[in-house]
């Protein structure tokens, strides 16, 4: 979307800068939404305080940004002079917003659908019964002292697997659980790529 929006960086600089600021803020807002937290300090280098307050106080900050982007590009469709250039540009940008919304919906679905409780209870009970009854089978196959070490290893492996399954219920992490998907890393990468495209466009505009 940054590349498409750059087509009117010279004709409407104010709208262009507003769009790229919201595009930079979008991965940050989506990351915070998936992690179920709010941190206004991450937006201070991109947005003004009025926009930050509006984003932080809403339940879905990433959707607030997408709505703002739609409002920013709406006048382009009305200003079309009949050649269809602005209309085509608006269509591309609106399509990009739809793609961002679709991606956010898929990620939100992953974050909001934990494993069924019955499945977790069943796994916990099965592991408990396995660990309790396994020593009776091992004591006939090895020395009793070796059974102790074998049970320690088996118990650690099984319960560690169960703990990993519980962590995967919240792959994006929460205030009490570490993340299994490094959203901070991916968010920074997307922001850096958007900023790089903006820098390239600034260099081209100077020519």
- Express each pLDDT in 125-177 by its tens digit: 888 898 888 888 888 888 888 888 999 998 898 888 877 777 777 777 766 66
What is the chain's mean pLDDT, rounded?
A: 83
Angstrom CA distances, 127 to 49, 61, 71, 154, 168, stand at 52, 41, 54, 10, 18
- The whole-number pLDDT of residue 26 equals 93
Q: How confident is the model at residue 9 (pLDDT cuts 50, 70, 90)?
A: low
User: By the 8 A CB rule, do 203 and 44 touch?
Assistant: no
Q: How far apart are CA 127 and CA 139, in angstroms?
A: 19
Query: Would you give the end-to-end CA distance of the chain in angstroms?
Result: 22
The predicted structure's pLDDT at residue 178: 67
Tell me the C-alpha distance between 152 and 131, whole Å.
Answer: 10
Q: Which of 1-15, 37-51, 192-206 has the highest mean pLDDT?
A: 37-51
Band the pLDDT of 29: cuts 50, 70, 90: very high
> What was the pLDDT predicted at 15?
79
Distances in whole angstroms, Cα of residue 81 to Cα of each of 77, 84, 86, 104, 176:
9, 7, 8, 34, 55
The pLDDT of residue 118 is above 80 = no
Lowest average pLDDT, out of 67-71, 189-193, 197-201, goes to 197-201
Task: Please state whether the predicted TM-score (pTM) of the whole model is above 0.85.
Answer: no
Are the CB atoms for 65 and 54 separated by under 8 Å? no
Encode pLDDT of 67-81 as tens digits: 999 988 888 777 777
pLDDT at residue number 136 = 86
Residues 6+ apart with CB under 8 A from 59: none
- Whether pLDDT at 102 is above 90: yes
Percent with pLDDT over 70 in the chain: 89
């Amino acid at each position: 979307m940054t590349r498409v929006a750059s087509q009117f960086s010279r004709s409407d600089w104010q709208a262009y800068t507003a769009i790229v600021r919201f595009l930079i803020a979008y991965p940050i807002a989506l990351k915070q939404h998936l992690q179920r937290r709010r941190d206004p300090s991450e937006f201070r280098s991109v947005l003004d305080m009025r926009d930050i307050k509006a984003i932080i106080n809403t339940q879905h900050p990433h959707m607030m940004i997408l709505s703002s982007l739609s409002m920013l590009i709406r006048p382009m469709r009305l200003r079309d002079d009949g050649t269809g250039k602005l209309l085509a540009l608006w269509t591309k940008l609106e399509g990009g917003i739809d793609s961002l919304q679709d991606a956010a919906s898929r990620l939100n679905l992953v974050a909001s659908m934990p494993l069924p409780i019955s499945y977790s209870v069943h796994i916990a009970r099965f592991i408990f019964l396995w660990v309790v009854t396994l020593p009776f089978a091992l004591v006939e196959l090895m020395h009793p002292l070796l059974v102790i070490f074998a049970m320690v290893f088996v118990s650690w492996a099984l319960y560690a697997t169960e703990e990993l399954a519980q962590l995967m219920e919240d792959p994006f992490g929460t205030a009490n659980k570490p993340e299994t998907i490094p959203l901070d890393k991916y968010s920074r990468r997307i922001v850096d790529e958007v900023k790089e495209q903006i820098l390239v466009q600034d260099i081209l505009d100077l020519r």
